């Protein structure tokens, strides 16, 4: 993968210079350490940091189009470029390189803005049509690659990461309070919003057109499902499983295309095991795989990893991740993520991509997306049980099914039913709500806002900030007619996968070490197929990812097919506090003086949370999320606001100071 | 009163992170206020057992016993009287 950056004059009338682009591209060096390239054309400048994967000799960027009047800076991969290229050649197009980048330019010449519908891949594209003086910015369908933009002094600035925009800021950026409100509800700011006030991001499946001094956006793709009771795919379980397997094998096959060796992440769960099985079935015999190991037995999946490794005979490497490693790597992780986070889970992902890079690999395939596309999460199961319960709200035994999902609730047997009803009964009277499955989680997460400072609370109250109402307004109108399971899938894919998993925990953690991730389960053909499956093909009774398991028989060891799904988690509080004492930077950033100076959180309340942690009494999920959320917000401010000048107007490339 | 202060102080300190007694009324539902969730209720029980030496049986895990400062106080008093 790579990084892109650029400037377009909207109202400004002085030319864009290479000297302006260089510091922007310099901040993206980790995304593309192999080469930097620039193209300036009056009021337009494109920059590119390259990680060479396909056609290392001929694929340099920015690249000119066939007629010389179009220029592209492109971050990503077009996996079906060979087919597209052959098709274009048959229709008379002539190519100068073997790169996928050139294919995009020819497709644009042939189809205009509709070129995007032909692409199977992950991409952030800046395409300058010099003849029409028109700039097109495009982000891939599901949001694998990021693309940020802002306006400064009559100019549009855009880049793969916000840190590339910041050298053009005169003053330090400010935190958008409504973004923090969203993070403390959904775990992430929702596009186009970002944590940086005035900086926006393209939504997944969206293009931005800049022409005649103005900007407008157009959605070209979204997760869409058939109306409930409508046009689902027909076929027996085995027939549909066969079709799914064929699609997934092809999605995997085209993602192995590269001029450098390709490895794979292996968690020991169903998705990555299936992926590794498919890679081997596709004829890759000497596969290199990578995983994270945890000291904490509750988090570690080494046992299942070993079974898969033996089954497929992969050559495996593992990075051992201790709690103190997570704490030590957290500050720089927040710098890369560019956002407050509520979990430390991105940290091990960054340590893992570091291992991949040290082993000489630039590309890994991962199982990311299978849970969203094929229905794997406990949240979907919980939603299904609650729908079943809502259909007969007075039932005494229907809610007891929830105990299957949360074994620790077993201590509430007997009279615990009342508590079950209260914990999981929220919104039971509105089973058609698009947020039926998510509201409980969001309300629990929103408890973090208790720690907001009086000033921040007043700002949000006065501005009438309401993240859930904002999200509701942005939903597609068709959604009201979908099956509840599909509503849950849609909301999950947008609010959590695109906004958090693929960004803070995905692209940014891979790219921090110049490693490209590829995600066969997020091939848009797989999504289109899966979205037309009846929900019972995804969740059969309470058996999650039913059809995927059926499709992977024989390819994945039986114990992995039938194991209980384990959510990926990393150590939270223990990463920062050991025997009641916080790491130095933790103590400093959570001190009343610094909390007061930054202004986001209530110092006395945070002190009480810290005291609870020191006493070893912070055991719940809420306390963990609150601590990580507060600490990462403080780090965000430290990196991007307090040290704005040092980090973004100095001469260093991407270096980051430590608190 | 001492019992109520202790219980209320614990809830204020550990769930609302404040020492301002006006932040919680004795009749406030801990569930409705979002103060305890499914793991939070276990913390409350742990506190009762450690602090007051009472043992909470499964069938006693009902909101009538545990869902407000007033209910918690009455519950602990009943348990102590029965002991």
DSSP code of A295? Answer: S
Q: Give A64-103 pLDDT, tens digit per residue.
A: 999 989 999 999 999 999 999 999 999 999 999 999 999 9
Instruction: Say whether pLDDT at A641 is over 50.
Output: yes
CB neighbours (10 Å) of residue A453?
A: 18
Q: What pLDDT, on a 0 to 100 scale, did the predictor assign at position A411?
A: 45
- Contact between A658 and A585 under an 8 Å Cβ cutoff? The reply is yes
Q: Is residue A448 annotated as a catalytic residue, yes or no?
A: no
Q: How far is CA A605 from CA B23, B26, B32, B76, in A?
A: 13, 21, 21, 28
Q: Give A32-52 pLDDT, tens digit per residue.
A: 989 999 999 999 999 999 988
Q: What pLDDT, on a 0 to 100 scale, did the predictor assign at position A407?
A: 66
Provide the whole-model pTM.
0.95
Q: How far apart are CA A557 and CA A307, in angstroms?
A: 7
> Going edge to edge, which strands form the sheet with A2-9?
A35-41, A44-50, A2-9, A155-159, A148-152, A200-201
Q: How far apart are CA A395 and CA A393, in angstroms?
A: 6
DSSP assignment of A572-594: -HHHHEETTEE-HHHHHHTSHHH
Confidence of residue A412 (pLDDT cuts 50, 70, 90): very low
Question: In the predicted model, what is the mean pLDDT of residues A558-583?
Answer: 89
User: Measured between CA atoms, how close is B1 to chain A, in angstroms?
Assistant: 24
Instruction: Say whether pLDDT at A155 is over 70.
Output: yes
Q: Give A378-397 pLDDT, tens digit per residue.
A: 999 999 999 999 999 888 88
Instruction: Say whether pLDDT at A656 is over 80.
Output: no
Tokens of B17: 């992170």
Tokens of A272: 């990555």
DSSP code of A167? Answer: G
Domains of chain A and CATH, by start? 2-219 (3.60.20.10), 237-374+498-562 (3.40.50.620), 392-421 (no CATH), 573-648 (no CATH)
Cα distance between the two ends of chain B: 20
Instruction: Say whether pLDDT at A527 is over 80.
Output: yes
φ, ψ of residue A499 to 5 degrees: the values are: -85, -25
Q: What pLDDT, on a 0 to 100 scale, did the predictor assign at position A416?
A: 66
Residues of B with Cβ-Cβ distance to A609 under 8 angstroms: 17
Of A415, A419, A446, the CB nearest to B59: A415
Yes or no, beta carbons of B38 and A422 under 8 Å apart: no
Q: Which helix (H) or strand (E) holds A121?
A: strand A121-129
Return the bridge partners of A113, or none.
none
- Structure-token match 């599909």, residue found: A486
Q: Are strands A155-159 and A148-152 parallel, antiparallel or unpaired?
A: antiparallel
Q: What pLDDT, on a 0 to 100 scale, did the predictor assign at position A281?
A: 85
User: Measured between CA atoms, how close is A418 to chain B, in angstroms?
Assistant: 6
Of B38, B43, B63, the CB nearest to A418: B63
Domain boundaries, chain B: 2-82
Annotated catalytic residue within A2, A40, A321, A448: A2
CB neighbours (10 Å) of residue A373?
A: 27
Instruction: Tell me if chain B has a CB within 8 Å of the CB of A616.
Output: no
Question: In the predicted model, what is the mean pLDDT of residues A530-554?
Answer: 95
A230-252 residues labelled b (16+ CB within 10 A) or e (exposed): eebeeeeeeebbebbbebbbbbb
- Structure-token match 């593309």, residue found: A32
Question: In the predicted model, what is the mean pLDDT of residues A539-564?
Answer: 91
Q: Mean pLDDT over all residues of chain A?
A: 93
**Cis peptide leading into residue A192 (ω within 30°):** yes
Instruction: Say whether pLDDT at A210 is over 80.
Output: yes
Cα four-point dihedral sign A387, A391, A394, A398? negative
Confidence of residue A655 (pLDDT cuts 50, 70, 90): very low
- What is the share, in percent, of chain A residues with pLDDT greater than 90? 79
Instruction: Tell me if chain B has a CB within 8 Å of the CB of A566.
Output: no
Yes or no, beta carbons of A414 and B39 under 8 Å apart: no
Name the residue in chain B with its Cα closest to that of A416.
B61
Instruction: Say whether pLDDT at A637 is over 50.
Output: yes
Name the residue in chain B with its Cα closest to that of A446.
B34
User: Measured between CA atoms, how close is B59 to chain A, in angstroms?
Assistant: 5
Q: Which CATH class is domain B2-82?
A: mainly alpha
A541 phi-psi bin (left φ>0, alpha ψ -120 to 50, beta other): left
Question: Biggest alpha carbon distance in chain B?
Answer: 33
φ, ψ of residue A43 to 5 degrees: the values are: -85, 15
Question: In the predicted model, what is the mean pLDDT of residues A416-436?
Answer: 86
- Structure-token match 């994967």, residue found: A53
What are the residues whose beta carbons fall under 8 Å from the beta carbon of A181, sequence distance 6 or more?
Answer: A449, A460, A465, A467
Instruction: Say whether pLDDT at A53 is over 90.
Output: no
> Going edge to edge, which strands form the sheet with A315-321?
A315-321, A288-294, A262-265, A363-365, A516-518
Instruction: Tell me if chain B has a CB within 8 Å of the CB of A407.
Output: no
Of A413, A416, A622, the CB nearest to B40: A622
- Contact between A570 and A321 under an 8 Å Cβ cutoff? The reply is yes
Q: How far apart are CA A225 and CA A600, in angstroms?
A: 40
Global ipTM:
0.85
Q: Are strands A200-201 and A148-152 parallel, antiparallel or unpaired?
A: antiparallel
Question: In the predicted model, what is the mean pLDDT of residues A586-605?
Answer: 98
Tokens of A619: 């055991």
User: Measured between CA atoms, how close is A565 to chain B, in angstroms?
Assistant: 20
Q: What pLDDT, on a 0 to 100 scale, did the predictor assign at position B61?
A: 82
Q: What pLDDT, on a 0 to 100 scale, did the predictor assign at position A310?
A: 86
Confidence of residue A654 (pLDDT cuts 50, 70, 90): very low
φ, ψ of residue A617 to 5 degrees: the values are: -100, 0
Q: Give A304-315 pLDDT, tens digit per residue.
A: 888 888 888 889
Question: In the predicted model, what is the mean pLDDT of residues A455-482?
Answer: 97
What are the residues whose beta carbons fall under 8 Å from the beta carbon of A273, sequence distance 6 or more?
Answer: A266, A304, A308, A311, A367, A552, A556, A557, A560
Q: How far apart are CA B40 and CA A408, in angstroms?
A: 12
Length of chain B: 83
Q: How far apart are CA A212 and CA B32, in angstroms?
A: 54
């Amino acid at each position: 993968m790579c990084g892109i950056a650029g400037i377009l004059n909207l109202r400004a009338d002085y030319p864009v210079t290479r000297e302006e682009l260089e510091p922007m591209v310099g901040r993206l060096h980790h995304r593309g350490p192999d080469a930097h390239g620039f193209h300036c054309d009056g009021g337009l400048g494109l920059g590119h940091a390259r990680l060479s994967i396909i056609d290392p000799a001929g694929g340099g960027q920015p690249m000119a189009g066939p007629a010389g009047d179009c220029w592209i800076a492109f971050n990503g991969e077009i996996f079906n470029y060979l087919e597209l290229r052959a098709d274009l050649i048959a229709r008379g197009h002539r190519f100068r390189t073997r790169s996928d980048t050139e294919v995009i330019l020819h497709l644009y010449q042939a189809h205009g803005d509709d070129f995007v519908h032909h692409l199977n891949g992950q991409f952030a594209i800046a395409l300058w049509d010099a003849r029409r003086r028109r700039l097109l910015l495009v982000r891939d369908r599901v949001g694998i690659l990021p693309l940020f933009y802002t306006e400064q002094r009559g100019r549009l600035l855009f880049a793969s990461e916000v840190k590339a925009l910041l050298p053009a800021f005169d003053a330090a950026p400010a935190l958008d309070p409504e973004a923090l409100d969203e993070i403390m509800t959904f775990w992430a700011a929702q596009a186009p919003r970002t944590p940086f006030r005035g900086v926006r991001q393209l939504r997944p499946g969206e293009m931005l057109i800049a022409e005649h001094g103005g900007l407008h956006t157009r959605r070209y793709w979204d997760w869409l499902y058939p109306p409930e009771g409508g046009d689902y795919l027909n076929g027996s379980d085995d027939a549909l499983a066969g079709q799914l397997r064929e699609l997934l094998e092809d999605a995997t096959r085209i993602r192995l295309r590269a001029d450098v060796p390709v490895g794979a992440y292996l968690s020991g769960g169903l998705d990555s095991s299936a992926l590794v099985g498919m890679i081997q079935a596709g004829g890759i015999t000497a596969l290199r795989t990578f995983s994270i190991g945890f000291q904490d037995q509750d988090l570690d999946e080494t046992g299942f990893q070993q079974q898969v490794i033996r089954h497929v005979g992969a050559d495996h490497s593992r990075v051992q991740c201790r709690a103190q490693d997570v704490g030590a790597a957290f500050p720089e992780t927040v710098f890369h993520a560019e956002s407050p986070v509520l979990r430390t889970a991105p940290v091990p992902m960054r340590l893992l991509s570091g291992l991949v890079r040290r082993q000489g690999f630039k590309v890994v395939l991962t199982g990311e997306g299978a849970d969203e596309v094929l229905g794997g999460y406990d949240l979907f199961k919980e939603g299904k049980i609650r729908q079943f319960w809502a259909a007969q709200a007075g039932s005494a035994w229907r809610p007891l099914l929830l105990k299957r999902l949360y074994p620790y609730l077993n201590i509430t047997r007997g009279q615990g039913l009342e508590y079950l009803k209260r914990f999981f009964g929220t919104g039971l009277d509105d089973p058609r709500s698009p947020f039926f499955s998510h509201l409980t989680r969001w309300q629990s997460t929103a408890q973090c806002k208790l720690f907001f400072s009086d000033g921040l609370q007043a700002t949000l109250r006065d501005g009438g900030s309401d993240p859930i109402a904002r999200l509701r307004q942005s939903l597609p109108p068709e959604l009201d007619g979908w099956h509840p399971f599909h509503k849950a899938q849609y909301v999950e894919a947008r609010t959590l996968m695109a906004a958090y998993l693929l960004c803070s925990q995905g692209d940014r953690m891979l790219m921090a070490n110049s490693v490209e991730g590829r995600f066969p389960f997020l091939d848009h053909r797989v999504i289109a197929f899966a979205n037309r499956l009846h929900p019972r093909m995804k969740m059969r009774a309470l058996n999650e990812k039913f059809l995927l398991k059926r499709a992977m028989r024989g390819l994945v060891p039986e114990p992995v097919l039938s194991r209980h799904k384990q959510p990926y988690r990393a150590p939270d509080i223990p990463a920062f506090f050991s025997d009641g004492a916080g790491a130095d930077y933790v103590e400093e950033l959570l001190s009343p003086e610094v909390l007061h100076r930054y202004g986001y959180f209530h110092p006395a309340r945070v002190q009480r949370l810290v005291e609870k942690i020191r006493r070893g009494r912070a055991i719940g999920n809420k306390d963990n999320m609150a601590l990580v959320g507060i600490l990462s917000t403080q780090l965000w401010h430290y990196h991007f606001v307090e040290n704005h000048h040092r980090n973004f107007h100095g001469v260093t490339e991407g270096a980051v100071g430590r608190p | 009163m001492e019992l109520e202060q202790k219980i209320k102080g614990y809830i204020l300190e550990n769930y609302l992170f404040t020492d301002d007694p006006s932040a919680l009324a004795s009749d406030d539902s801990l569930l409705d206020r979002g103060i305890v969730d499914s793991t939070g209720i276990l913390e409350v029980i742990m506190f009762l057992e450690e602090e007051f030496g009472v043992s909470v049986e499964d069938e006693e895990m009902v909101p009538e016993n545990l869902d407000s400062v007033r209910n918690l106080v009455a519950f602990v008093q009943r348990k102590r009287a029965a002991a």
